Structure 1
Amino acid sequence: MKTRILSAALAIATLSGLLVASPAQARDGVSSGRTTRPSGGNGYAQVTVDFVSRTKVVFRNLKVRDLCPHDNLPVKARAVWKYTTGSWHTGAWKKDTNGCRDKGTNFGNYVRSGSRAISAVALELCVYNKKSDFHCVNTTTRYNQYVHRGR
């Protein structure tokens, strides 16, 4: 009788452990940022970061939004990642050219993978005041849990 109860308890504990999300299943969360210039131009960008392995990250639902005033100038953002060697690299610019619409532009998913380990990622967000005058900020940095254990 005790053996059956012990076996049942062990089986339940084992199954419960399988239901807990492993790091490969866990999403690292949202990285977002906002920039404002005193002379005009406001912008917002957001992405959900999901590290899949040491060398692969998925940027989910990349959204770029122009926040008024109605200046007809775009807001742009791009993914940036840091390799474990310390060098930063960038993806292609994504621009919201819809003006001050409510929801901005959603560019969907972007995957970055290769043979080199990725240490951290963020978004670079830029807002224009004039054609050649823009201000940029970086959003929240997310660290790869496969590279930085416990971070």
Structure 2
Amino acid sequence: MKTRTLGAALAIAMLSGLLVASPAQARDGVTSGRTQRPSGGNGYARATVDFVSRTKVVFRDILVRDLCPGDNLPVKARIVWKYTTGSWLTGSWRKDTNGCADKGNNFADVTLSRSRAISAVTLELCVYNKDHDFYCVNTTTRYNQYVHPGR
């Protein structure tokens, strides 16, 4: 009897709009990107973004991968964040230097906790063709739902 009553109450709450997705479910997710450079040097980067508050975000399961050709040059990615003031800052590089035969480098979770509100985050992904010839792209930008509700 209790199960049937609970199920009915839950169904009524859902139908009446009382249960809605929380903001944390709306903007968190995967940020990923791939370079496709005609002269070679392709790479891939991915992380799952989890905004915890206005000032804290966790990057989970960061992956950086060299997609060939096997040129023995690194592919690297770093965390990039934007404050509500409009200024962008960057974290330290994470590299895949193992060549294109592997599955990339997986890195531990990174928690970014600041004293100011973080507006948005992305990853910057760079690939090399020569020692000083590199090409960079940004992955999908994720906006902090605690700063930008509804965005």
Q: TM-score, normalised by structure 1?
A: 0.85
Does the CA contact (< 8 Å) of 1:35 and 1:42 recur in 2?
yes
Long gaps (5+) in structure 1: 1-7
Q: Distance in 2 between matches of 1:106 and 1:21?
A: 31
Long gaps (5+) in structure 2: none
Code of the residue aligned with 2:148 in structure 1: it is H
Partner residue, 1:93: 93
Q: Deviations over 1:78-115 (max 9, x none)?
A: 00000000000001000001101342111121110111
Q: Distance in 2 between matches of 1:67 and 1:24?
A: 32
Q: Distance in 1 between matches of 2:94 and 2:27?
A: 23
- Structure possessing the higher radius of gyration over alpha carbons: 1
Q: Deviations over 1:45-80 (max 9, x none)?
A: 001110000000001111000001110000000000
- Asked if 1:82 corresponds to 2:75, the answer is no
How do 1:30-49 and structure 2 match up within 5 A? 30-49=30-49
Does the CA contact (< 8 Å) of 2:63 and 2:107 recur in 1?
yes
Runs of 4+ in structure 1 over 6 Å off: 16-20
Query: Partner of 1:36: helix, strand, or coil?
Result: coil
Q: Distance in 1 between matches of 2:68 and 2:142?
A: 28
Give 1:38 shift. Answer: 1.7
Give 1:133 shift. Answer: 0.5
Q: Distance in 2 between matches of 1:19 and 1:115?
A: 32
Does the CA contact (< 8 Å) of 1:80 and 1:121 recur in 2?
yes
Q: TM-score, normalised by structure 2?
A: 0.85
Length, aligned pairs only: 143
| Identity fraction in percent | 78
Partner residue, 1:12: 9
